Amino acid sequence: MIPRLKAEGLTRILGGRRVVDGIDLSVAAGQVTCLLGPSGCGKSTTLRIIAGVDRQDAGTVTLNGKVVADDHVHIPPEDRGVGLMFQDFALFPHLTVAQNIGFGLRRDGVSDARVEELLIRVDLAGYGRKHPHELSGGEQQRVALARALAPRPGIMLMDEPFSGLDNRLRDGIRDATLNVLKEEGTAVLLVTHEPDEAMRMADEIALMRDGRIVQRAAPYNIYNAPVDREAAAFFSDINTLSAEVNGALTHTPFGQFLAPGHADGTMVDIVFRPQHVRLDFDRNGRGPSPTETEGTPARGTVERARFMGKESLVEFVMDDGRTRVTATVPAVFLPRAGTVMWLSIRRDRCFVFRQPEKAHA
């Protein structure tokens, strides 16, 4: 299938820096791709180039099979056939909500019905005759969303479209938006810096860092097979055990770990998430027996335990005196500081990464 949206080698140099550095992307009809990354990594600039409101220094944008931007061509944004939903959306203050949504549509019965349908979809039924200044920020944002969806664009470019909504509304609006976009078979490129939003919305996540895409994968795969330590850390707190490789093995307080493909003397990080740590009470200095899935348990002492609502965050210092490990456990359990416990980690949920060069110094 030909992708609706294709970007090849997009590069943008600003202030002497490659803020977008060779981005390749493709989005098919009915697919949501999230450009995810920390502030300043170049997500918005990438989206703006695809929308046509910024120009690339190199690369090609192809929309609906037609080149809209390359070294010779620059089709203006309004002729690209894309719906836009930016952070700094602007409604026309002198038009009603319904007129804002219908702006640009043919003023016939069909488009009126479309406006009504969209008002219901964004949970603003009955708001059609109001003016933007009578609406809250979140309501205005939903009008902007309805307006972008109104002409049924084949491609939708969205930059943090839900950031202005309060938490209570956000999940509902996200799901409703996703339903509308899926029903209409729209190809969506959505920029966000929130991993939870990307996990919730995306069919595919493109993880960006310093102007580049470092990993492109479905949410499940990017979470469970991150490309490096930083990618793992982007989605949750992580624990890191540093160890030296010897004979394709490393030694840690949790026993040996396989480190195939790493030369002797290489420093590696063994990374795991706090929810993959199991806790057992100390029984007269003894812990649970080693198992294949959880390896060798290690003993530690609770340094701090924090109640977080659904779960507790328990921080340990291990018996070696220098390794620190954080575990999340159901909040019914909140051990006191000084409690001695045994920690086991799910071996199949550990990632082994070579430490970056600077870490060797």
Ligand X SMILES: Nc1ncnc2c1ncn2[C@@H]1O[C@H](COP(=O)(O)OP(=O)(O)OP(=O)(O)O)[C@@H](O)[C@H]1O
* Residue 44 binds to ligand X (criterion: CB under 6 A): yes
Cβ atoms of 150 and 101 closer than 8 Å: yes
* Residue 37 binds to ligand X (criterion: CB under 6 A): yes
Nearer to ligand X, 101 or 222 (CB): 222
> DSSP letters along 315-353, please?
EEEETTSS-EEEEEEETT--PPTT-EEEEEE-GGG-EEE
* Residue 88 binds to ligand X (criterion: CB under 6 A): no
Q: Name the minimum Å distance from CB 52 to ligand X.
A: 15
Q: Name the minimum Å distance from CB 211 to ligand X.
A: 7
Residues 285, 288, 292, 298, Cα dihedral to 10°: -40
Nearer to ligand X, 161 or 297 (CB): 161
In sequence order, the 6+-apart residues with CB closer than 8 A to the CB of 84 are 51, 77, 148, 156, 157, 158
* Residue 41 binds to ligand X (criterion: CB under 6 A): yes
Look up residue 169 and give its two tokens: 């509304």
Rounded CA-CA distance 39/104 in Å is: 33
Report which of 346, 345, 344 is spatially closest to residue 282, judged by C-alpha positions: 344
Which residue type occupies 53? Answer: V
Report which of 38, 35, 37 is spatially closest to residue 5, judged by C-alpha positions: 35
Contact pattern from residue 142 through residue 181 relative to ligand X, giving x for each residue in contact according to CB under 6 A and a dash for the rest: ----------------------------------------
- Stretch of 39-47, 94-102, 262-270, 274-282 lying at the interface with ligand X (CB under 6 A): 39-47
- Stretch of 43-51, 73-81, 213-221, 268-276 lying at the interface with ligand X (CB under 6 A): 43-51
Which residue type occupies 160? Answer: E
* Residue 42 binds to ligand X (criterion: CB under 6 A): yes
* Residue 36 binds to ligand X (criterion: CB under 6 A): no
Nearer to ligand X, 55 or 74 (CB): 55
Rounded CA-CA distance 57/268 in Å is: 38
* Residue 214 binds to ligand X (criterion: CB under 6 A): no
Contact pattern from residue 177 through residue 196 relative to ligand X, giving x for each residue in contact according to CB under 6 A and a dash for the rest: ----------------x---
Nearer to ligand X, 89 or 103 (CB): 89
Nearer to ligand X, 56 or 240 (CB): 56
Q: Name the minimum Å distance from CB 37 to ligand X.
A: 6
214 phi and psi angles, rounded to 5 deg: -95, -20
Give the CA angle between residues 8, 13, 19 to the nearest 5°. 75
Report which of 259, 247, 215 is spatially closest to residue 350, judged by C-alpha positions: 259
* Residue 40 binds to ligand X (criterion: CB under 6 A): yes
Query: What are the b/e assignments for 90-123, b being 16+ CB within 10 Å?
Result: ebeeeebbbbbbbeebeeeeebeebbeebbebbe
Contact pattern from residue 1 through residue 20 relative to ligand X, giving x for each residue in contact according to CB under 6 A and a dash for the rest: -------------xx---x-
* Residue 28 binds to ligand X (criterion: CB under 6 A): no
- Position of minimal CB gap to ligand X: 44
Q: Name the minimum Å distance from CB 13 to ligand X.
A: 9
Q: Helix (H, G, I), strand (E, B), or coil: what is residue 225?
A: coil
Cβ atoms of 12 and 42 closer than 8 Å: yes
Nearer to ligand X, 58 or 176 (CB): 58
Q: Which of 4, 6, 43, 262 binds ligand X (CB under 6 A)?
A: 43
Nearer to ligand X, 23 or 98 (CB): 23
Which residues would be at the binding site for ligand X (CB under 6 A)? 14-15, 19, 37, 39-45, 193
